[in-house]
Amino acid sequence: MFSFRRIAVWAGAIVLAVAFVLVGVSKLEGDSAMRWTERFGHWGYPANAQYVVGVFEILGGVGVLIPRWRRAASLTLGALMVGALCTHVVNGEFPRVIPPLVLGGLAFLMYCSHRWPAREQTTHHRRGV
């Protein structure tokens, strides 16, 4: 039987996986990789830094789908989103802080999801009501 908690955790993991794998791949290949190179250079990061970030995004995205790796992957993705958030704030790109806030928040929820207590079914019933 599926619980709401289990469905919510899997839905969050799938959203994170899709988002991070797609963005990570965009940093590694094609025309979008060239745009990422320009952006990272504009932000003052070393040449080819987007490749390192892209690989971590892909690994984190895949990792959240594996329950045993979910906490470590979520922590990694959260750290990446803190870096992205700081980068956008420092560079005055305030509209761009929304995606890192949302994805970082979801990564934080995934990190904490193992602590959510599973609700147990009660077997006693109220009588006389």
Predicted pLDDT at 52: 97
Residue 50 located in a structural domain: yes
- Residue 10 inside a domain? The answer is yes
Answer yes or no: is 81 within a domain. Answer: yes
Phi first, then psi, for residue 48 (nearest 5°) are 70, 15
Q: What's the confidence (pLDDT) of residue 122?
A: 46
pLDDT digits (tens, 9 = 90+) for 56-113: 999 999 999 999 999 999 999 999 999 999 999 999 999 999 999 999 999 999 999 8
Q: Write down the pLDDT at residue 47.
A: 87
Give the ranges where the chain is alpha helix by DSSP (H): 4-28, 30-42, 49-63, 70-90, 98-112
54, part of any domain: yes
SS3 call for 44:
coil
Judged against a pLDDT cut of 60, whether residue 1 lies above it is answered with no
For 42, phi and psi rounded to 5 degrees? -60, -35
Cβ-based neighbour number of residue 2 at 10 Å:
7
* Residue 41 covered by a domain: yes
Q: Is residue 75, in this structure, part of any structural domain at all?
A: yes
**pLDDT-derived band at 2, boundaries 50, 70, 90:** confident
- Cα distances (angstroms) measured from residue 95 to each of 57, 68, 79, 91: 21, 35, 20, 11
pTM above 0.95, yes or no: no
- What is the full DSSP assignment across 89-102? HHTT-GGGGHHHHH
Report yes or no: 54 and 84 within 8 Å, Cβ to Cβ: no
Domain membership of residue 38 (yes or no) is yes
Residue bearing the bigger pLDDT, 85 or 119: 85
- Is the pLDDT higher at 116 or at 61? 61
Which amino acid, one-letter code, is at 14?
I
Q: Give the range of the structural domain holding residue 42, as residue numbers without chain letter.
A: 4-114
Number of independent structural domains in the chain: 1
* pLDDT for residue 3: 87
Does residue 121 belong to any structural domain of this protein? no
Mean pLDDT of 111-127: 60
